Amino acid sequence: MNASEGFPKVVWAAGTFCRRMFEVLARAGLARIGRLGTAHGPVETPALLPVVNASSLILTPQEMVEEFRAPILMTNAYILWRGEDRERVLKEGVHGLLGFPGPIMTDSGAFQQHVYGKVEVSNEDIVKFQAAIGADLGAALDVFSEPDESRSHAEAGVEETLRRSEEALQHRGKMALAGTVQGGRFADLRTRSAEGLSRLPLQIQAIGGVVPLMEAYRFAELAEVLVASRMGLRPDRPIHLFGAGHPIVFGLAVLLGCDLFDSAAYAKYAYDGRMMTAWGTRRVRDLKRLACACPVCRDSTPEALRRNPSLVARHNLHVSFQEVQQIKQAIEEGRLWEHVERRSRAHPRLLEVLRVLERHVDYLERFEPLSDGSPFFTGPETIWRPVFHRFRKRVLERYRPPGAKAALILPEGPRPYTRGYRRVLRELFTQADAHAIVKSAFGPVPVELDGVYPVAQSVFPALPGVEVLEAAEAFLQAFLRKGHFEFGLLWEGAESLEELKRRAPGSASGGEDLHRARAIADYQFGPEASDALFRGDVEFVTSKRTHRIRNVLVDKVHVLSLRASDGLYTLKWAGGQRIHRSVEMPRLRVVVETETAPFNRQGRSVFAKFVTDADPDLRPGEEVLVVDQEDGLVAVGRALMNREEMLAFDVGPAVKVREGSD
Ligand code: GUN
Ligand code: ZN
């Protein structure tokens, strides 16, 4: 796929008019690469914050800088407040005490107080203390809820945490303040807690109360908690996950929208003689070899690691940072789902996470770009990824067949299907009143959609396994129940064609350019807009070499261009006008404040700040009409966010305008 034609990776450009606290630079679903501004410099997210405990340093802050290039640290303000260093840290500041030049986040000690059982410090005091020692980011004192606590307990904790978050805002000074989502294992409480935080003018939103879930490998519940929390959180603020210790869960956390996570696990595991990898944990005492290329293992031996926990801690931290880098690269490549699926195979408890994601696919699909990367199959769960779910849904809801009597169901074959099955299709269309549907692993594909993302871009094995085949059968049956065809017949070789000629005599027209062009528009814009686009005298400009459609002209005017990268259309101004005349508000629209519309008429991008509403069915990457508040057509362009994000964000472009009215 050509990167310049694919989904644009730069979503919210960095600091155009003033220094911003948080900007999103690239995204993949809920995951994003961002830039968090602090008084001690910017931090790129997702970021891992190694926890340092000033009173028991297994790795020094200097090592964090020199060996690990740690961009940001976490330390516990409660431990400093309670300890011998209280006066010193008040005098020297937390940066002075730790000798760390970059940004530092402090935690309020909610977790320690929960573990040790008594509350010694008030919310007000610990927040003032964090501000006084110069923390860049700090946390209000939340009430930690255990996952197995009763509902009424968890509910009371949520209420008290919200009250304290609000109170803490008065004492934060210049420090960016985090409020924390609690609510135990109760999804509705988590969402409510998150919604409460979204209403407060906090700079950071944290998710807490998950350490016991992670320690007990209750990953499915962790995923439920992350989804339920994310549903209530504002998308324009960074999300911190408290205590996301093991790199095995980093990918999942990022996939579900977390931007920051702190980990003390690298040290805790080391004291306990456990070595981390991105796919599990090994006891140092069982090691016969060091199968790791980190600078520690490269120059060490299992024996040395057994004697020296600080070597193990260093290894653990190298592995943790490496996983963060791999996650960022996966976001850039549109491969984060694949990454998380692969990681999930590391432990059966993690594999259960994929079933949780499957249950929430409707929610996750709302954030999924229209097209991004080449989806690779990693296992039967792959077919439930948002991109495939969307494909099935749009085929079910938007596809209109060419009006043939029968459907010939072809097995998965070489792609693009219209080339791979060229001979069969030619005979089919000329000799029978039948249309061809490929029974792909992720759902039925009408042959004319064979170039549309993700059909042409995805890579599946020839034998995907029984579970996938059963699902494919169920998807096909759901499609056939739509009643587009009188009957369906499975392709079993030449005799199938004979049977079709007998049972559905005549010919069909499903292979023509016009039908293909319309089917893609149905899929992308919906039938109503598609009818508006194609009303009149249709001509195509085709590629001389491949004979594929490039441009669509209607009544001699260029209305659509077909992208080679994802097989979907780019909307021209004339196409936008056609849709605008025939399709009602708010469909396919992004509404901007009438006063700012003149900028967009000149071709400038729509900034999220000026969006007043948008079609809830629009996805990032989708072609849109930009209209003013009176529904006057202003421009056509490409959405960079969904509606929820456009309405939440105050920074960055929401629509990249391609053609304005002027
Ligand atoms: N560290 C680990 N879990 C938590 C939590 O729930 N709240 C806070 N403040 N810190 C934590
Ligand atoms: Zn190592």
Domain ranges across the chain? 3-359, 380-503, 512-575, 584-662
pLDDT at 546: 85
CA separation, residue 256 to residues 74, 196, 235, 411, 412 (Å): 22, 19, 11, 35, 32
CA 270 – ligand 2 centroid, Å = 12
Bond prior to 416 in cis (omega within 30° of 0): yes
Task: Give pTM, 2 decimals.
Answer: 0.95
Cβ proximity of 569 and 605 under 8 Å: no
Residue located via tokens 């099935």: 392
**Catalytic residue (choose from 107, 236, 450, 522):** 107
Q: What gap in Å lies between CA 519 and CA 580, rounded to an integer?
A: 20
Ligand nearest to the CA of 278: 2
Q: What gap in Å lies between CA 242 and CA 248, rounded to an integer?
A: 15
DSSP 572: P
Nearest-CA residue for atom 5 of ligand 1: 208
CA 316 – ligand 2 centroid, Å = 7
pLDDT at 1: 34
pLDDT at 112: 87
Q: What gap in Å lies between CA 635 and CA 567, rounded to an integer?
A: 23
Ligand 1 pocket by Cβ (under 6 Å): 107-108, 110-111, 139, 142, 144, 180, 208-209, 211, 242-243
CA 301 – ligand 2 centroid, Å = 10
Burial category of 146 from C-beta neighbours within 10 Å (exposed 0-12, middle 13-18, buried 19 and up): middle
Nearby residues of 199 by Cβ (< 8 Å), 6 or more positions away? none
The CATH number corresponding to 3-359 among 3.20.20.70, 2.60.120.650, 3.20.20.105, 3.40.50.720 equals: 3.20.20.105
Cβ proximity of 376 and 335 under 8 Å: yes
**What is 380-503's CATH superfamily?**
Uracil-DNA glycosylase-like (3.40.50.10630)
Q: What gap in Å lies between CA 324 and CA 320, rounded to an integer?
A: 7
Best CA proximity match to 510, nearest among 412, 413, 438:
438
CA 295 – ligand 2 centroid, Å = 7
Structure tokens at 572: 């021209």
Nearest-CA residue for atom 7 of ligand 1: 208
Nearest-CA residue for atom 10 of ligand 1: 111
Beta bridge partners of 238: none
CA 299 – ligand 2 centroid, Å = 9
Return the number of other C-beta atoms located less than 10 Å from residue 78's C-beta: 24
Best CA proximity match to 526, nearest among 607, 589, 469:
589
pLDDT at 512: 83
Ligand nearest to the CA of 204: 1
CATH number corresponding to 512-575: 3.10.450.90
User: CA-based Rg of the chain, rounded to a whole angstrom?
Assistant: 28
Return the number of other C-beta atoms located less than 10 Å from residue 23's C-beta: 23
Nearest-CA residue for atom 6 of ligand 1: 208
Q: What gap in Å lies between CA 252 and CA 652, rounded to an integer?
A: 26
pLDDT at 508: 85
Q: Is 107 a catalytic residue?
A: yes
Ligand nearest to the CA of 294: 2
User: Helices 422-431 and 494-503: crossing angle, nearest 10°?
Assistant: 20
Cβ proximity of 527 and 588 under 8 Å: no
Structure tokens at 323: 């996983």
Strand 104-107, strand 73-76: pairing = parallel
Ligand nearest to the CA of 142: 1
* 142, 149, 181, 239: residue to mutate for ligand 1 pocket, most atoms within 8 A of CB: 142
Structure tokens at 42: 């910017």
Q: What gap in Å lies between CA 91 and CA 104, rounded to an integer?
A: 16
Q: Which atom of ligand 1 is nearest to the CA of 144?
A: 6
pLDDT at 509: 74
CA separation, residue 592 to residues 608, 610, 635 (Å): 9, 6, 11
pLDDT at 547: 87
CATH topology for 584-662? Answer: 2.30.130
Burial category of 604 from C-beta neighbours within 10 Å (exposed 0-12, middle 13-18, buried 19 and up): middle
Q: Which atom of ligand 1 is nearest to the CA of 209?
A: 6
Cβ proximity of 433 and 505 under 8 Å: yes
User: Helices 466-480 and 386-398: crossing angle, nearest 10°?
Assistant: 20
Residue ranges for the chain with pLDDT beneath 70:
1-20, 119, 510-511
Structure tokens at 181: 């989502």
CA 111 – ligand 1 centroid, Å = 5
